[in-house]
Every structure is written in structure tokens, then in C-alpha cells.
Amino acid sequence: MFLTLKNYIISDNKGKRNAIFVLLLVFGFPTIAIINYATEIQSGIISQAYRMLNLIISGILILEFLVKTNFKLNSKISFNKDFLIKKAPFILFLIFWMAYLLRLYIDLEINHITNAFNYSNSYYFLFAIGVTIIPMLAVASIKEFDVDFFQLSLHRYLVVLNIGLVIIFFLGKLFNPAPDYRFFIIRDEFYYLDAITIAIYGSLLVLTSFLSKKKNLFTYLLIALGFFIVLTTASRGPILSLLLALFFIFIFIDKKISFKYLYLTIALIFSMIANYVTSLIFVKEFIVGNPMLYRINNMEEDQSTVSRLDVLNEGIQQFLEGPIFGSHFLVVKSSMYAHNIFFDVLLTTGIFGLLLIIPIFLIFAKKMLSPTKTIILSVLGFYLFLNTLTSGACYNMTEFWIIFALTIVYKKDLINNPV
């Protein structure tokens, strides 16, 4: 496997190589977390090595782009219709990120805003620049990309990853029981992988399996596995995002009902039954058979729900104190990020920042809904965008921003996508 990966990375077929690069940049983190968990490494040294690999990949892509353009970027600006449609949104987007980074610097280095997790100041800059902005720009510079190979590789990777996750889930309940109704990977009170991330990657298995060209019993068993992983996390945002993404496929891609939706429903029901049976087997660990219903019925006691509502109420008051240019990158009173991309933009850069990013998001929406769209990128972009509405902040929405960039720059005539 590693020899095959090496061959693709050094291959003259840059379409396939770039597909592997994007796969590593976007989706590799859960694997690193599992390796850390298996080896009981809490120092972060493996994660740091992975981040360094990502910077090297980003450097290769950016350097290739500069060499191809002979280091001569067109700096001449002509204010015409073509500029307004094709270039201005990207310039505004870069201005937004400059404003966002300026806010980070002011809050962290001058105002000394603290956070709920005791992260160092360098952590935020590392994520915003090294993990998000640089890889995003690197992917935006790609001119050759084998979409079919990317989809196939991503699906195979997700199969292996989710099988690993379900093994960890059951082994954890058998040998390291911890009373809780959510699935997250923890050992010695150290969190290796949170429930939301696990739910996202279970959802991605459902989506890539459902989009696969060959559908058989094994395909729908994989869909059931993905649903099972999502249900065990009891994460409302990813569950809702997954259902909406499937509805997106039905409305904008398939545009008609077929038997595969019946089989999809059967797979969902099967996974719900499996989830419920699991809750009976491990009753002492209290894994809820219907997590969504449980969290709705226990809304007032659910600490996650209570804290989210507090963040929302406090964030609204904070926004009103600085609506034009923003106030802070965190909800100061709760020391927590906004858990919504647009709310985060408003808190950090105000209405000014929101107006800067709207044009590029309109291009993103147009690309997803275009008749010439690439289905896998559209679905991934839509699903990951939905997750930004319920979790995270701009500086750590890595998966979304990179797929966002790839979706925007995608052009079929420039992509190496052999039939």
C-alpha cells in the first residue's frame, strides 16, 4: 500500500498525485488521532509531523504554480465586468482573511483574550495560517486533478477508517467502559478524537458509498456502517447535515426517486436497530438507541445544548457592541467560538467582513449548482458547509475551506480527469 502511495506521489500523472495530496491535506487527521490512540502518544509529536507533511505538500503545490507562471503574477487591474465577476471576489476574500488574522493578533497579543481550553496563542495562528490558509491557497493553485481517482481513493480510505472506528468503539466498551451516551475516543482523560469529528467521517462514508457507481449489498452495508457511526456519536449537527446532503443529492443530482433510496432507507433503519441493540448490550455505558430523541427530551439537562444557547445569547450582545468591524474572535464571556461560520465572521470582522466573503460564497454556491458540476465536490462542499453552521470557527474549519477552494477553482477543461 505504501509503495503504491509513493508511486502516486512521485508519478508524472499529476492529476492522481494531486488527488492524493488533497486527500492528505483534508482528511488525514482522524487517522493520525487513531495512531496516537493506539500508541498512547499524547505529546502530539505524530500530529506535528503530519502538519509538517501538509506544509511540505502545500509548498510543492504553490512552488509548482509559481514556476508555471514564471513567478510573474498579473498585477495589472482593469476595472471592468470581467474583473468584477472573476477577480474581485477573490481579492475581497483575501482582504477578509487579512482582517481575520489582524483580529486574532489584536485579541491574542494585545488584548490577551483567554479561551476555555487554555490553548496557546501560537495554536490559533498555526491553525489559521499553517493548517487552513496555506493549504487552501495551495489547493486553489491546482491545475491538474483526477476527480474520479480522488473519489475512489477517498471512499476506500473512509471504508478503512470507519471500520477502524467501529472496532475501537466496541473494544472500548468491552475493555475500557466509560458511562456516556456519545462515542468519542478517550484514554486516561485525554481526548484523541471528538464525537463531532467521528460523526463527520461516518457521514462521509455514507455519502461516498451512496455516490459510488457500483451499488450492491456491500455498498449498502457500508452505508449502514456510516449511519451507525453517526448515531453512536449523538451529534445533532452532522446527523442533520447528512440528511440534508442526501436530500441535496435527490433534488439537484438524481432529480427522481429510485430503488436506491428505498435501500438507503433500509440501511438507515438497520443501523438504528443495530444502534439500539448495542445500547441494550452495553446498558451500563448508557449508549442511547435514539440519540436525537434523547437529546431533545433532555434539552434542559444537556450541557452541550445549554452552553451553545449561552454562547448564542452572549454572542448576539457582543455583536451589537461592535457590529461594523466586529469585536473579538471569541465570545468573551464564555471563552468559546461561535459555532457558526457566519456568526463567527460577524463577531470577528463585523458586517464589513461578511460583505467581503459574500461574493466568493455566491461563486461557491453557483459552482455546486452548476449543470457542469462535479458531483463529488458539490456534495462534499455542501455537506461540509452545513457543518460550519453548527460547529467550529473560521480558523479551524480546515476540511471545509480546502474543499471550498477546490470547488471554486475547478474547471473541467483544466482537470486531468480521464474517462
Written as one string, the DSSP assignment of 352-400 is HHHHHHHHHHHHHHHHHH-TT--HHHHHHHHHHHHHHTTS--GGG-HHH
CB 337 within 8 A of CB 344: yes
Rounded to whole angstroms, the Cα distance separating 144 from 141 reads 9
| Coil/strand/helix, residue 185 | strand
Confidence bin at 2 (pLDDT 50/70/90): very low
Q: Is residue 218 part of a domain?
A: no
Going by C-alpha positions, the residue among 220, 240, 167, 204 that lies closest to residue 386 is 240
At residue 282, the pLDDT reads 79
Going 267 to 382 to 138 to 46, the CA torsion angle's sign is negative
Which range of 72-76, 187-191, 192-196 scores highest in mean pLDDT? It is 192-196
Domain count, the chain: 1
Number of C-beta neighbours around residue 296 at 10 A: 12
For range 356-371, the mean pLDDT: 92
Q: Give the structural domain span for 384.
A: 87-111+312-411
DSSP 279-306: HHHTGGGT--SSHHHHHHHTTTT-HHHH
**Vertex 81 angle, CA 77 and 83, to 5°:** 30
Residue-wise pLDDT tens digits, 283-330: 766 555 555 566 666 666 666 777 888 888 999 999 999 999 999 999
Going by C-alpha positions, the residue among 301, 310, 316 that lies closest to residue 336 is 310
Residue-wise pLDDT tens digits, 80-105: 666 556 688 999 999 999 999 999 99
Confidence bin at 75 (pLDDT 50/70/90): low
At residue 82, the pLDDT reads 64
CB 212 within 8 A of CB 155: yes
Q: Is residue 121 part of a domain?
A: no
pLDDT at 117 over 80: no
Going by C-alpha positions, the residue among 27, 25, 6, 9 that lies closest to residue 17 is 9
Residue-wise pLDDT tens digits, 129-183: 999 999 999 999 998 999 999 999 999 999 999 999 999 988 887 776 665 667 8
CA torsion angle 145 146 147 148 (round to 10): 180
Residue-wise pLDDT tens digits, 214-272: 899 999 999 999 999 999 888 889 999 999 999 999 999 999 999 999 999 999 999 99
At residue 417, the pLDDT reads 43
pLDDT at 275 over 70: yes
Rounded to whole angstroms, the Cα distance separating 233 from 253 reads 29
Q: Name residues whose C-beta falls within 8 Å of residue 50's C-beta, 6 or more positions apart in sequence.
A: 28, 29, 32
At residue 1, the pLDDT reads 44
CA torsion angle 283 286 288 292 (round to 10): 170
Confidence bin at 63 (pLDDT 50/70/90): very high
Average pLDDT, rounded, for the chain: 87
Q: Is residue 326 part of a domain?
A: yes
Rounded to whole angstroms, the Cα distance separating 368 from 380 reads 10
CB 228 within 8 A of CB 179: no
At residue 361, the pLDDT reads 96
DSSP 338-365: -SSHHHHHHHHHHHHHHHHHHHHHHHHH
Q: Is residue 259 part of a domain?
A: no
pLDDT at 203 over 90: yes
Residue-wise pLDDT tens digits, 28-61: 999 999 999 888 887 778 988 999 999 999 999 9
Q: Is residue 307 part of a domain?
A: no
Q: Is residue 251 part of a domain?
A: no
Q: Is residue 298 part of a domain?
A: no
Q: Is residue 338 part of a domain?
A: yes
Rounded to whole angstroms, the Cα distance separating 189 from 40 reads 12
Going by C-alpha positions, the residue among 351, 316, 349 that lies closest to residue 331 is 316
Confidence bin at 412 (pLDDT 50/70/90): low
Please report, for residues 4, 22, 32, 44, the alpha-carbon distance to residue 18 in angstroms, rounded to integers and kept in the order given: 14, 6, 20, 27
* pTM, two decimal places: 0.91
CB 201 within 8 A of CB 229: yes
Q: Length of the chain in residues, anyone?
A: 419
Confidence bin at 11 (pLDDT 50/70/90): low
Single-letter code of the amino acid located at 104? L
Rounded to whole angstroms, the Cα distance separating 178 from 181 reads 9
